[in-house]
């Protein structure tokens, strides 16, 4: 490999749009991040913030109307956006795998669990059908599905939601990918099952050593397991940093608002404050900061100019004019 870097995956200035009848919907507007092997990156944001679309852009599994319009996605130094469809087919599932939000609809209802697992194995290895079946059972055991020998003969609708998500994880990991993208893996599950699935993922990460990109709107999920967190709004990155940075030293008004709106053990006596307004319309993006119409602290400059990401600590960056204002005022004094 030409330029071996310490990063497994590098995303630079990624732009993705959907071309609909109503116009171009800019779902992702220039996001960048780097991922080291074995680490976990969390992407948080509300619906429509572009977090899932970013994940799909990396895998190139966007819906028909969607297209990556700019930027690069480097895997081990190679820009996979330049891959042919054939190369991409080889790449998906073998190097990067993804699990989806809704295990109810993500498995094909007319094929057995075993068939769908074996298919994934057969696609990327030279294993025989027999060996693939063994691998499928092995994977099911690994993700904690009981009686895996009989499960492989069952159809998805015969399993519970938690079981199906385990099957999805088994399917994603059966070729031991370097990166696992988890697109809201616990949103559709019961709270007790959520914890089990998260624990399973952390456990498997320890055993298999893959990196994880955890896409979620649930700050609680992120806090416990991510090395780095990226907060997205309106298809842009607002703030990134460690869990400590985000939770205890938020530097973007959106992150601050987000934290005020969820219950925490250290501010139990404070009132929860929701973020007012409605999520932005991606068809007509504001000229300035995307969050500005809903921001209580919005300033004149926020209306007209988009803030750049500014580093404000070790590995902690934020794209908010408030930080510049503070620096400006400090300089005046």
Partner 1 sequence: MLKYIGKRVLLAIVSILIVSAITFFAMNAIPGGPFNKEKATDPAVQAELESRYNLDKPVTTQYVLYMGNLIHGDWGVSLKSGREIWPDITSKFAVSAKLGISAMIFATIIGIVLGSIAALTRNKWPDRLIVFFTTLGTAMPSFVLATLLLLLFCLELKWIPVYNSSNPNYILPIISLSVYPMAYITRLTKTSMLDALNQDYVRTAKAKGVSRVKLIFVHALRNALIPVITYLGPQIAYILTGSMVVENIFTIGGLGSAFVTSITNRDYTTIMAVTIFLAILMVVANLLTDIAYKFTDPRIDFNN
Partner 2 sequence: MSNENLELKKRQILSSQVDLSKFNSKNFEKATDEEKAQQEVMGESTTFFKDGMRRLKKNPLAMGSIVVLALIIAIIIIAPIFVPYSYSDMITVNGVRDKSASNLGMFEYSNAEMKYMESTGESLFPHIFGTDSLGRDYFIRVIYGTRVSLSVGIVAAIMVLIIGLIYGSVSGYFGGKVDMIMMRIVDIIYSLPDMLIIILLSVVLKEVLASKIKGTALAALGPNMISMFFVFGLLYWVTMARLIRGQILTIKNSEYVLAARCIGTKDGRILRRHILPNCLSVIIITTALQVPSAIFTESYLSFLGLGVSAPLTSLGSLANDARGAMQSYPSRLVIPAVIICLIVLALNLLGDGLRDAFDSKLN
Between 148 and 288, name the residue whose CB sits nearer to partner 2: 288
With respect to partner 1, which residue has the nearer C-beta, 61 or 297? 61
Q: Which two tokens stand for residue 247?
A: 């939770």
Shortest distance (Å) from residue 6 CB to partner 2:
23
Beta strands in 78-133 (DSSP E): 78-79, 96-99
Measured distance CA(229)–CA(239) in Å, rounded = 8
Q: How far is the CB of 316 from partner 1 (least distance, A)?
A: 32
Residue placing its CB nearer to partner 1 in the complex, 92 or 316: 92
Under 8 Å between Cβ of 41 and 214: yes
Three-state DSSP state, 228 = strand
Question: From CA 118, how far away is CA 108, in angstroms rounded?
Answer: 13
Q: Give Cα 190 distance to the centre of its chain.
A: 20
How does strand 310-313 pair with strand 316-318? antiparallel
Residue closer to partner 2, measured from CB, 206 or 300: 300
User: What is the dihedral angle through the alpha carbons of 215, 217, 221, 225, rounded to the nearest 10 degrees?
Assistant: 40
92 binds, among partner 1, partner 2, none (CB under 5 to 8 A by kind): partner 1
CB of 123 to partner 2, least distance (A): 34
Instruction: Give me the least distance between CB of 145 and partner 1, in Å please.
Output: 17
Interface contacts to partner 1, rule CB under 8 A: 59, 61, 63-64, 85, 89-94, 97-98, 100, 102, 105-111, 119-120, 123-124, 155, 157, 168, 171
Of residues 161 and 293, the one with the C-beta less far from partner 2: 293
Q: What's the token pair of residue 56?
A: 């799909």
Q: Give the whole-angstrom CA distance, residue 6 versus residue 29.
A: 26
- Of 13 and 305, which has the nearer Cβ to partner 2? 305
Distance of CA 250 to the CA centre of its chain: 20
Tokens in use for 174?
Answer: 């059966």
| Residue 327 contacts which entry, partner 2, partner 1, none (Cβ below 5-8 A, type-dependent) | partner 2
Categorise residue 119: left if φ over 0, alpha if ψ from -120 to 50, beta otherwise.
alpha
Region class of 71: left (phi > 0), else alpha (psi between -120 and 50), else beta? left
Local structure of 253: helix, strand or coil: helix
Closest approach of partner 2 to the CB of residue 63, in Å: 15
Q: Among residues 55, 51, 64, 126, which one has the least CA distance to residue 94?
A: 126
* Residue 78 or 102 having the CB closest to partner 1: 102
The partner in contact with residue 124, picked from partner 2, partner 1, none with C-beta cut-offs of 5 to 8 angstroms by kind, is partner 1
330 binds, among partner 1, partner 2, none (CB under 5 to 8 A by kind): partner 2
Output the smallest distance, CB 42 to partner 1, in A. Answer: 20
Q: How far is the CB of 331 from partner 2 (least distance, A)?
A: 5
Residues near partner 2 (CB under 8 A): 249, 277-278, 280-281, 283-284, 286-288, 292-295, 297-303, 310-313, 321, 323-332
14 and 86 Cβ atoms separated by less than 8 Å: no
- Which entry of partner 2, partner 1, none binds 272, CB below 5 to 8 A by partner kind? none
Q: Which does 157 bind (CB under 5 to 8 A by kind): partner 2, partner 1, none?
A: partner 1
CB of 296 to partner 1, least distance (A): 38
CA distance 299 to 311: 21
Q: CB under 5 to 8 A by kind: which of partner 1, partner 2, none does 102 bind?
A: partner 1
We find the least distance from the C-beta atom of residue 124 to partner 1, in angstroms, to be: 6
63 binds, among partner 2, partner 1, none (CB under 5 to 8 A by kind): partner 1
């Amino acid at each position: 490999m030409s330029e071996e870097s310490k990063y497994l995956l590098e995303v630079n200035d990624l732009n993705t749009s959907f071309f609909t009848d109503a116009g171009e919907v800019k779902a992702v507007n220039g996001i960048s991040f780097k991922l080291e092997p074995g680490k976990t990156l969390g992407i948080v944001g509300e619906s429509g913030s572009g977090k899932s679309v970013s994940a799909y852009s990396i895998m190139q599994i966007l819906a028909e109307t969607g297209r990556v319009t700019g930027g690069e996605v480097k895997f081990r130094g190679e820009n996979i956006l330049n891959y042919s469809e054939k190369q991409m087919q080889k790449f998906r599932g073998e190097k990067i795998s993804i699990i989806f939000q809704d295990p109810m609809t993500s498995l094909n209802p007319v094929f057995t669990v075993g068939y769908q697992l074996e298919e994934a194995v057969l696609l990327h290895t030279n294993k025989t059908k027999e060996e693939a079946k063994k691998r499928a059972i092995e994977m099911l055991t690994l993700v904690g599905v009981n009686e895996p020998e009989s499960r492989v003969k069952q159809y998805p609708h015969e399993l519970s939601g938690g079981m199906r998500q385990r099957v999805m994880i088994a399917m994603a990991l059966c070729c031991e990918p370097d990166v696992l993208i988890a697109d809201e893996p616990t949103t559709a599950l019961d709270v007790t099952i959520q914890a089990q699935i998260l624990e399973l993922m952390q456990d498997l990460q320890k055993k298999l050593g893959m990196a994880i990109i955890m896409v979620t709107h649930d700050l609680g999920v992120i806090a416990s397991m991510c090395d780095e967190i990226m907060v997205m709004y309106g298809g842009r990155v607002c703030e990134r940093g460690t869990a400590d940075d985000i939770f205890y030293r938020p530097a973007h008004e959106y992150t601050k608002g987000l934290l005020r709106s969820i219950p925490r053990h250290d501010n139990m006596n404070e009132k929860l404050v929701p973020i007012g307004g409605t999520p932005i319309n991606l068809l007509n993006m504001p000229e300035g900061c995307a969050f500005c119409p809903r921001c209580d602290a919005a300033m004149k400059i926020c209306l007209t100019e988009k803030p750049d990401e500014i580093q404000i600590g070790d590995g902690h960056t934020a794209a908010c004019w408030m930080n510049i204002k503070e620096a400006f005022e400090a300089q005046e004094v």
